[in-house]
Amino acid sequence: MNKGQLIQAIIGLVDLVSRLRGPAGCPWDAKQTDASLKTYLLEETYEVLEAIENEGPEEVCQELGDLLFQVVFLAKLAEERDEYDLVEVMERITQKMINRHPHVFGSKVVSGTEDVAENWHNIKRTEKGRLNSKGSLLKSVPKSLPALLRAHRLNERASRMGLKISGSKNLEEQLEAAFRLLQDEMIKGNRDGMGYLIGELLFVLADLARVHGLNSEHILREKNNRFVSNFKDEK
């Protein structure tokens, strides 16, 4: 990668956004706010995910550009409000990554990827001042995450804190118990009870996937794609 070309590309994109937001720019872009851009930011993120799953480098490149545009646009809105700008965004993330990798940029010694992950989360907790509050650590997992991914992160964080959600039962026992109760509620025709227990099952299944090094969000996305591909050629 040519650093001079990189600098010119960043400047070019920043200038483009400034022009779109300027007096002689685009009326639609001029009306956008942080709130109005949330939908586009989310859509572009999912389009990047889909491109990665399709394993098409050209498609990924295109979608990453669309996502980057949203980031630059949001930074421009903040700059207009004298809050921060793109330079500060980039400087902050650079410093954060240096702080989060003391085994690369400092003297910290790690024995493997698990050690790295544990150290990462300890540093993150210190940064956010949440060392003494387990509840706040769980609440810090964003509510806006897809439900299965949030279940994965909640279970991951609870495991690190040594929290036991269901007492002494292991995951297999939790699944069996929840499924038996679900069958009872199905026989009764109790929709509320069924909904509650399906939620319990999904949560435990997300944890089961996590324990075995899998991610339930990714697993279900792949299943959805397989399901669609089974019918795509039918008329």
Q: Quick check: is 48 in a domain? A: yes
When the pLDDT of each residue in the chain is averaged and rounded to a whole number, the result is 89
Domain holding 63, by residue range, is: 3-98
Q: Quick check: is 157 in a domain? A: no
Q: Quick check: is 86 in a domain? A: yes
Q: Quick check: is 40 in a domain? A: yes
Q: Quick check: is 202 in a domain? A: no
User: What's the pLDDT score for residue 162?
Assistant: 76
Mean pLDDT, residues 13-17: 97
The count of domains in the chain is 1
Q: Quick check: is 49 in a domain? A: yes
Q: Quick check: is 26 in a domain? A: yes
pTM above 0.85, yes or no: no
Q: How far apart are CA 101 and CA 133, in angstroms?
A: 24
Q: Quick check: is 182 in a domain? A: no
Taking only Cα atoms into account, the Rg of the chain, rounded to an integer number of angstroms, comes to 23
User: For residues 142 and 151, is the Cβ–Cβ distance under 8 A?
Assistant: no
- pLDDT digit string (tens) for 94-128? 999 999 999 999 988 988 888 888 888 788 877 77
- pLDDT digit string (tens) for 156-209? 888 877 776 655 568 888 899 999 999 999 999 999 999 999 999 999 999 999
48: domain CATH number is 1.10.287.1080
- Residue 22 tokens read as 């300027």
